[in-house]
Structure 1
Amino acid sequence: MTLKKLWLPLIAAGAVLTTSYSLYSDENEKLKNYQGTYECSPSIIHSPTSIEEIQDIVRDALVNGNTIMTGNRKFASQIDAACTQDGQVQVTLENMTDVVDFDPEAMTITVEAGMRFNQFNDFLRDKGLAVNMVTELGTFTIGGMLGSGTHGSTFQKKSNMIADYITSMKIVDGMGDVRVLTGEDLNAARVNLGVLGVVVEATVQLEPAFKVKAEVKGYRNDSNLEDVILDLARNNYSANVAWFPGLGRYTTTLYNEVPLSTKGNDYNAQADVSDIQEYFFGLLFDALHETKNSSLQCFAAAVRYGARDGSYFRNLDTGFKSYKPVGYSDRMQYFQCKDPDKCVWDKLPIALQEVAIPFEQLPNWIADVRKILDNNPRTCFPLNGIYFRFGKASDSYLGMSAGRDSAFVGIEYTLRQEGAAVPKNYFVNLEIEQMSLRKYGARPHWGKNSVAIFEDMPSRFPKWNDFLAFKQEVDPYNVFTNPFWQRATGDDPLSNYLTPGCNLRGECYCTEDSHCEEGTTCQAGGFFEQARVCK
């Protein structure tokens, strides 16, 4: 270690001692994810109101040998990606939500990282400006979107990630110093997993606001899906495809730009369900979680197909359904929830796995999934089918589309709960998942998946070592780390999680029968024989 590094903690300690030290903190408070299914136990949660307070927090952690992670009290992840290690320091930016600078001529805006994406878009819409990328849920924070690489779907624009529209980023690094990142440093930090420091501000490149028209259509024969899906992505501003292979059907939602003057004030009403609909959805999904009956799974899939094969847009002024919907790009592509603190899916036992594979390989991937399902013809995907979105290659080091055009493939399923049965034909999901990883070089979404899926992550990103080198520069004492990062790097090998019942908990792909739930054994996949599944 250099003499400089030896002295740095002492300098940090001096800075802390000479600072007016007033931190907004809660001790021994639990941190939970959006569904309340994952809980973290930090020793303290700090809610700073300024960059200077964040600097104090980091320097205090450095002096005391603590680690830090930034994440909201109701973080949008199924696992511990946003959690600090138990007993360590958590930071939330819930009090840092302001616009720092707005330049309408340059069409740029600088915001604090705690700002929610829907608030961000509300501000821009009033100014006649927009950002190209729109995800499907607007309540994510800007900092959280940069941490995980949150994305939407577009193959005609520069990128489907807001991370790629950032022109500079301000962070508090592992020494408590403020850095402004541009150029190649910015590419390293665009998707940062929270392990480079606390992202405090981001400057975003904007464009003139626009509206989109949407076309929703259902197809009752999926035999041509491989032939058309790449063109659907290429030929539309934004395309979302939901494939229900157990039913032999698929739906498309296609968006295309129209002038801002076009008549229409519609919005995406997917989350507008009545209390009685929510109640019956709850009964159905609870039953799906426990049942071993394929017919009920396929009935649920048919219900969801019916909800997606026609317009699910409404007029903002009248509340009536719109059959030729036109509206502002953000309102049309993401949906609001009637309860701002909980959407219907927050209350139901579901989870999501998503991976990104090379775009041009998608038809082959679909053909291989059909072969897996040939062995299990009554497998239905009851929530949104198999859901496809698309994006161009990213300059980010750790984005899901880093360096390659990508298809994003998502499968929702009834949530596994400890002590309860896995979903019907869950082994089919796991065979698809392992085939995606090992045959198609899939990259898992950083915030949505199980423990097991993050296997061999360094090999999946050509600039992984460059990212590690940049982390060493900005965080030489590894202040910003957590168990999720330790697993992703391989410092905590996934082999450590090969324990009895680990497949049921989503912590492993089985290698022996003891890893499976009672009544099943560890077997090779029916088509992709490299997979190991419990059935």
Structure 2
Amino acid sequence: MSKVTNTVLLLQMFVLSSTTYKSYQTSIHCTPSEPIHYPKSTEEVVNIVKRAIGENKTVKAFGSRHSITDIICTDGYPVSMKHFDHAIDNEDGTATFGAGIELQDAMIFLEKNGRTLISLPTFGGITLGGAIGTGAHGSSLLHPTSISDQVVRLTLVDGRGSLRDVSDPNELNALRVNLGLFGVIIDVTLQTVPLFKMTVHNRIHADHILTDGRTALRWAAQHDLFQIWWFPSQGDVVVSKGIYHDGTNELGNDTTNFIPDTDFITRNLVGTSFETLQETRNTYAMYLLEAYTKFSLVERVVGRAPIFEEHRNNGSAETWNNFKNPATGFSWRLMSNRCQRSCTWNTDSIRPKFLIEESSIAFDLEEFSSVINMIRKVLRQYPAAFPLVGLFIRFSIPSDGLMAISSNRSTFTVEWTTPMRWNRYEKPKDGIGAYQWILQEMVQNYNGRPHWGKNGLHYFNRDLMASVWKDKRELFVESMTKYDPEGIFLNKFGRRLLGTSDQVDKDSKVYRCALQDYCICQKHDDCGLLQNCVNRNGFNICKDLIDLKLPIISIVN
């Protein structure tokens, strides 16, 4: 091989390494042709879009990349909106924010101005642009739960490089959950409300309330905030009920700590523990961790940050102490938080010790008992643990957003988080067969809608998106084409939505495609080492050749 060829190959490798970026937990690999751009003004965004038009390339704007789908990727110009973090308190009860501002920073700004939002997503580290791109949501059957449904105006740069201000409600309905396919969102104007406090109380109940004839749904309809963590191996749920107060006079200054900071040692210890338990298929120990998580949601436990605690501002520093349950404080501080300094998924070691994967499917509220019973049926045959957050169940009122997971129907979502294996390319997660069966049945038999920023890419393949969104997709694409007639903002994700391509952005090391839900297994090699692809009840799943699992039992009651 000549020196010239070697030099060319080295340059190609350098360009690739300098342009590649990933999702926050590294499962999605984006390989654009251009390096990430960091514009600081609307004019710079316009210039990037017009340059892409002239070069026949595409553009994708993103924020914190807190999605595990290739919705964040582009073939052309990736644009970080991190510098668009401005905040303006308007005189008409609205507030305007740059698309790159993180949710918690926006809420701190509103609090200082005596305003807030009526409901919030759980994680405060997402950007507002990303939140409305994917429809991030909280939990309530009394109030709008997503940031998208609180939007009253958007400013964006469209596919012609023109700046557009959108406030017409019909147009906004297509843009509320825009999937990044309409343009580069510059700023977002939200409807705010006067600052108020909330009292929230977490309690443990037997899980028969999920299917005893409407108890859970009756409670959901009675509370401003209502969410459930279900721990099947325990036979228990933790129910979180929140009541809004008028104004800020109620005593209490408590906050949630649901997504806490973790130090390097803790991340490595937790990651090593989960890896060991998954490698040995120690189901009993995973059930014990479910119990540990359950109790951490209602009382102080050793080794875990309190779910609610008192927040004090001493002028020079903020402090948190004194476990609280029930807890009273500013509503937004009890609904949402972010890890301030170091999140569990930080990759600050040679081998990342604790990365996660997320699954989340939304259903019509009428399917509530049926979906719960289906999950129980699967777990009786294929035991699996949910040690990190249990099965997290949240609720939403109908949304006007065309592509919102709660579009035109009262909705509940079932979601769970699983620890990623250190060797995720060959070794399966403990319980993978149950997870695969549950997800497939959710979508196929219960008209489940996958959350746009979660789930493996199988749930965003061309045929499945056409089936799930058949009554919405045509209207969405019609609106999208008006803003981007030449497809400047299309990526592989968008082309699958249009039905023009099957391609995905994925880690090039992936070849056992079923391990991270890139596919449903068709052959044994799609599954992990020492696994076969088998069919159960009409669904293909990955099964361990040697089954060491214990039956699912209640180990605490």
**1:144-223 map, 5 Å:** 144-157=130-143, 159-181=144-166, 182-219=168-205, 221-223=206-208
Q: Of 468, 479, 489, which residue of structure 2 is paired with 1:480?
A: 489
Q: Of 433, 438, 443, which residue of structure 1 is paired with 2:444?
A: 438
Q: Of 91, 94, 97, which residue of structure 1 is paired with 2:82?
A: 94
Contact kept? 1:509, 1:532, Cα under 8 Å: yes
2-side partners of 1:345 and 1:255: how far apart?
29
**Amino acid aligned to 2:337:** F
**Amino acid aligned to 1:284:** S
Deviations 1:118-164 (A, max 9, x none): 1111111112111112111111111111111111111111x211111
Contact kept? 1:284, 1:300, Cα under 8 Å: no
* 1:178–1:253 Cα change, 3 Å: same
SS of residue matched to 1:283: helix
**Amino acid aligned to 1:405:** S
How many residues align? The count is 496
Deviations 1:84-107 (A, max 9, x none): 12xx110111111112x4323x21
**Amino acid aligned to 2:478:** A
Q: 1:322 maps to what in 2?
A: 324
2-side partners of 1:451 and 1:466: how far apart?
23
Q: 1:312 maps to what in 2?
A: 307
Q: 1:344 maps to what in 2?
A: 344
Contact kept? 2:426, 2:529, Cα under 8 Å: no
2-side partners of 1:520 and 1:282: how far apart?
23
Residue 402 (structure 2) pairs with residue 393 (structure 1): no
Q: Of 436, 453, 458, which residue of structure 2 is paired with 1:452?
A: 458
Q: Of 254, 270, 277, which residue of structure 2 is paired with 1:281?
A: 270
Q: CA deviation at 1:470?
A: 1.2
Q: CA deviation at 1:283?
A: 2.9
Contact kept? 1:494, 1:508, Cα under 8 Å: no
2-side partners of 1:410 and 1:242: how far apart?
10
2-side partners of 1:271 and 1:173: how far apart?
35
2-side partners of 1:208 and 1:500: how far apart?
52
SS of residue matched to 2:70: coil
Q: CA deviation at 1:277?
A: 5.1
Q: 1:513 maps to what in 2?
A: 524
Q: CA deviation at 1:364?
A: 1.0
SS of residue matched to 2:153: strand
Q: CA deviation at 1:433?
A: 0.2
Q: CA deviation at 1:27?
A: 9.9
Contact kept? 2:229, 2:393, Cα under 8 Å: yes
2-side partners of 1:505 and 1:225: how far apart?
29
1-side partners of 2:117 and 2:513: how far apart?
42
Contact kept? 2:493, 2:504, Cα under 8 Å: no
Q: 2:219 maps to what in 1?
A: 232
* 1:398–1:289 Cα change, 3 Å: same
* 1:189–1:274 Cα change, 3 Å: closer
Contact kept? 1:265, 1:316, Cα under 8 Å: yes
Contact kept? 2:261, 2:343, Cα under 8 Å: no
**1:237-276 map, 5 Å:** 237-259=224-246, 260-272=248-260, 275=263
Q: 1:32 maps to what in 2?
A: 22
1-side partners of 2:513 and 2:249: how far apart?
56
Contact kept? 2:123, 2:259, Cα under 8 Å: no
Q: CA deviation at 1:495?
A: 11
Q: 2:538 maps to what in 1?
A: 530
Contact kept? 1:289, 1:349, Cα under 8 Å: no
**Amino acid aligned to 2:252:** G
Residue 381 (structure 2) pairs with residue 375 (structure 1): yes
Contact kept? 1:129, 1:208, Cα under 8 Å: yes
For normalisation by structure 2, the TM-score amounts to 0.84
Residue 43 (structure 2) pairs with residue 52 (structure 1): yes
Residue 281 (structure 2) pairs with residue 292 (structure 1): yes
SS of residue matched to 1:46: coil
Contact kept? 1:289, 1:421, Cα under 8 Å: no
2-side partners of 1:223 and 1:166: how far apart?
38
SS of residue matched to 1:284: helix
**Amino acid aligned to 1:30:** T
Q: CA deviation at 1:327?
A: 0.5
Q: CA deviation at 1:338?
A: 4.3
* 1:320–1:121 Cα change, 3 Å: same
**Amino acid aligned to 1:65:** N
Contact kept? 1:171, 1:197, Cα under 8 Å: yes
SS of residue matched to 1:521: strand
Identity %: 27
1-side partners of 2:226 and 2:355: how far apart?
27
1-side partners of 2:62 and 2:195: how far apart?
30
Q: Which moved more, 1:456-465 or 1:366-375?
A: 456-465
Superposition misfits of 4+ residues, deviation over 6 angstroms: 494-497
- Identify the structure with bigger relative contact order (alpha carbons < 8 Å, sequence gap 6+): 2
Q: CA deviation at 1:247?
A: 2.0
**1:347-366 map, 5 Å:** 348-366=354-372
Q: 2:513 maps to what in 1?
A: 502
Q: CA deviation at 1:329?
A: 0.9
Contact kept? 1:271, 1:338, Cα under 8 Å: no
Deviations 1:436-465 (A, max 9, x none): 100111111111110112242133232210
Query: Alignment RMSD, CA only?
Result: 2.3
Contact kept? 2:97, 2:188, Cα under 8 Å: yes
Q: 1:408 maps to what in 2?
A: 413
Q: 1:465 maps to what in 2?
A: 474
SS of residue matched to 1:316: strand
**Amino acid aligned to 2:499:** G
SS of residue matched to 1:69: strand
Q: Of 48, 52, 56, which residue of structure 2 is paired with 1:61?
A: 52
**Amino acid aligned to 1:297:** M
Contact kept? 1:78, 1:447, Cα under 8 Å: yes
| Contiguous gaps of at least 5 residues in structure 2 | 1-15, 300-305, 313-319, 348-353, 544-557
For normalisation by structure 1, the TM-score amounts to 0.88
| Contiguous gaps of at least 5 residues in structure 1 | 1-25
SS of residue matched to 2:485: coil
Contact kept? 2:496, 2:503, Cα under 8 Å: yes
Contact kept? 1:191, 1:399, Cα under 8 Å: yes
SS of residue matched to 2:294: helix
2-side partners of 1:282 and 1:532: how far apart?
29
2-side partners of 1:412 and 1:249: how far apart?
18
Contact kept? 1:215, 1:253, Cα under 8 Å: yes
2-side partners of 1:128 and 1:427: how far apart?
49
